[in-house]
Amino acid sequence: SYSRVGTPSDNPEMESFFGRLKDEWADVFAAAQSESEVIKLIKEALSYYNERRRHSSIDYLAPDDFIKRELTAATV
């Protein structure tokens, strides 16, 4: 968490992301047998979240696709 204790409103986007990451991947992380495996799983989770997982708040696009679309629109 990046917020001060007891103040999730400091950074709601990150609080939401980390909460969702913990909920969706807790069992996967718990099954890891080593620190290197946890690191690998975290990288996979971040890749999934940013490259493949669709987000309703950004027109059901993955974040990477949304950013590409916005950058393209800004340069036209």
Look at residue 21 in the predicted model and tell me its pLDDT. Answer: 87
Lookup: tokens for 10 = 């400091």
Long-range CB contact pairs, 44-49, < 8 A, 24+: 45/21, 49/17, 49/21
**Euclidean distance between CA atoms 55 and 39, whole angstroms:** 24
* Domain residue ranges in the chain: 8-75
**Euclidean distance between CA atoms 44 and 28, whole angstroms:** 11
18-53: per-residue pLDDT in tens? Answer: 888 889 889 999 999 999 999 999 999 999 989 999
pTM more than 0.75: no
